[in-house]
Amino acid sequence: MAGKRNREETIRRLLATVGDILKEKGYAGLGVNKISARAGVHKKLIYYYFGSLNELVKAYIRQKDYWLPLFDAFQWPATLEKDDVKALFVDLLEEQFRFFYQEPEMQKLILWQISDVSPLMRHISEMRELEGAKFLALTDPYFEIAEVDFRSVVALLVGGIYYIVLHACHNKSSVCGIDINKEQDYAKLLKTIRQILNWSWSTAPKKTIPAPVMIGERNMRYELDEMEKLVTAYLYKEEWNAEEEISWQIVSDKLPRAVMEGALVLEPGKLPMYIRWHQEGLVELANSLYDRLLKAPSERLQVLFNRVRSLLEFIERSFKDEAGSYIEIPNFLWKEMKGVLSEKLDKIMQGLNSLELEASLVEVALIPLANWLDERVFILPTFSQYRYVLWYSGEIESFLEQRHKDDRKALLCKFIEVNFNHLRSFGYWIRVIEEELGQNPGNPLVILKRLRRHVLQTPVIPSAAYSEQVLSLRQQLETWVDEEISLIAEGWVLASGPAENRLKINLPVAAIAYLNKLLYKHRFFAEENQSLIIRHMVDHFSSMDTENMSINSYSSKYRSKLPSDSTARLIRKLLKPMLEEVDKVLS
């Protein structure tokens, strides 16, 4: 029992810490190291209990979100009267207003959702939409011939509640003279929500309808829920009765058909979330069965596991485009993947070394395989990462079977073709371009235009990407070359000045890049061309760790999304006394 209590206490502390950090620093403050340090637990426990940082945050959101727990707990009645459905929505919207006003953590989550491009928050939003569609479907029969579009009314109320509450709680301000921090205005808004909903329903005809049976979407929930209950029961008792055996056969056989039916009737925009939700449920089932198989293998367990695996493969095969990009693969697939990658890594490394390529280029080419085999990586790859790395390794193996006039250039073009858009593959390309510019200083414009034409003419395999969150390698190179061409057109000299003429800055390259990024973001520079700023820094300044800042190194650090914690602390240490001195002047 002590082990169970320790586990529950650790999980509680981790979830509470996510909330504390979110309230104090916002979503930008969330990180494995920061959460584990503040919670006083080893960061490995985050991966052990939740699998990844995203899953930890997702668990926290499910706990704090108003809508998701409500969707899970709602009991669907057999029949529905008009007044019952109206009362349901009045209660839902009034309670949402009260809940959102009282929950600063939920306010932070909504701010995160609307202010940052986040696959995790998009996933949560889509989940709310898919589950909320079942509630809205209750209202559709009443408003088929009504003049009012009830879904639009609800959308405006939900959005309005978010906007007014965020203004009141974060800016302490009013909207149209309504300040809900005042008791009378708070009561007025609650009353108005009720009045708007009552008016909407007054336009709908009165009738009784049966509770909706949502083909595919509703049926799939029933069948997947039944599968989860049956697996849980089996893992607890290690046996089934005759009725449970029959139920398993029925629901597991009907599931593929239910998914297909749902796919046919759902709107295209809702289909991806529908498939991902199903995929996540099957991954959880597969993990539960696989973990038990490792501890206590049995023939019956193996049969159940094989059935769940076949259903997952059906989803992957039938809905490749819709299957979740950011859903982590099940544990069994990860174990198989590591074995395959280990063999391929050795084979590809030998093949690339036989071409006598630079060690740094070989290292870059192996990144997609080597990164996942690194023992320090505790997270599992997503399905899209899993598909990409296996496909990428096959493409490199095919490349090694062919003959090329220039192996280095051919491999770099292969990076473009397979959209290996890692920072280091882009960096290596820039290094090669700069080498050629250095060897032919008299014709930079001709060289850059020729390279641009070559990059654009290199075929790219559609929908392939090492990282779905980053521009394609071809787009990155095209942008970089275009910016260099524009600098030349403006009369800018690409060659760097001698080291002795440069001003030295007492910061490392990463800190200089981050500081300049902040200065650009807050409009310190009148110049809007970031490439010009980067080039000027490299040409006229040196850092404490190098006399000659590499354009490639500096540019990659400047364009990275976030600095390291140590870099951010260094800049804060630099800027804090400056601000204090200004404050003294003003006081």
Sign of CA dihedral 145, 150, 153, 155: negative
pLDDT at 66 over 70: no
CB-count burial class (<10 Å; 0-12, 13-18, 19+) for 441: exposed
DSSP string for residues in 35-97: HHHHHTS-THHHHHHHSSHHHHHHHHHHHH-SHHHHHHHPPPPSEE-HHHHHHHHHHHHHHHH
Please give the Cα distance from 152 to 157 (Å, whole number): 9
pLDDT at 26 over 80: no
CATH architecture of 1-64: Orthogonal Bundle (1.10)
Q: What is the mean pLDDT of residues 536-541?
A: 81
Contact criterion met (CB below 8 Å) for 324 and 275: yes
Alpha carbon 173 to its chain's center: 33
Please give the Cα distance from 355 to 423 (Å, whole number): 24
**Token code pair at residue 159:** 């959005």
Amino acid at 150: F
pLDDT at position 207, please?
A: 55
> What's the pLDDT band for 310 if we cut at 50, 70, 90?
very high
Of 114-118, 346-350, 571-575, give the lowest mean pLDDT range: 114-118
Local structure of 497: helix, strand or coil = coil
Please give the Cα distance from 423 to 559 (Å, whole number): 10
**Token code pair at residue 492:** 């800018």
What's the maximum distance between 2 C-alpha atoms anywhere in the chain? Answer: 87
Contact criterion met (CB below 8 Å) for 193 and 97: yes
Contact criterion met (CB below 8 Å) for 251 and 226: yes
CB atoms within 10 A of CB 262: 22
Closest CA to 57 of 8, 98, 15: 15
So where are the chain's domains? Answer: 1-64, 80-212, 217-324, 405-474, 499-586
CB atoms within 10 A of CB 2: 6
The pTM score is 0.56
Of 152-166, 262-276, 508-522, give the lowest mean pLDDT range: 262-276
Please give the Cα distance from 262 to 265 (Å, whole number): 5
Task: Calculate helix-pair angle for 423-439, 444-457, nearest 10 degrees.
Answer: 140
Contacts by 443-447 with C-beta closer than 8 Å and gap 24+? 444/484, 444/488, 444/494, 445/485, 445/488
> What's the pLDDT band for 366 if we cut at 50, 70, 90?
very high
End-to-end Cα distance, the chain = 60
Contact criterion met (CB below 8 Å) for 231 and 289: yes
Residue 515 has phi, psi (to 5 degrees) of: -60, -45
Q: pLDDT tens, 45-65? A: 887 777 777 778 777 777 766
**Token code pair at residue 50:** 């939740």
pLDDT at 209 over 70: no
Q: pLDDT tens, 392-425? A: 999 999 999 999 899 999 999 999 999 998 888 8
Please give the Cα distance from 352 to 349 (Å, whole number): 5
Amino acid at 265: V
Please give the Cα distance from 547 to 551 (Å, whole number): 13
Q: What is the mean pLDDT of residues 229-239?
A: 81
> What's the pLDDT band for 213 if we cut at 50, 70, 90?
very low
**Token code pair at residue 454:** 């070559």
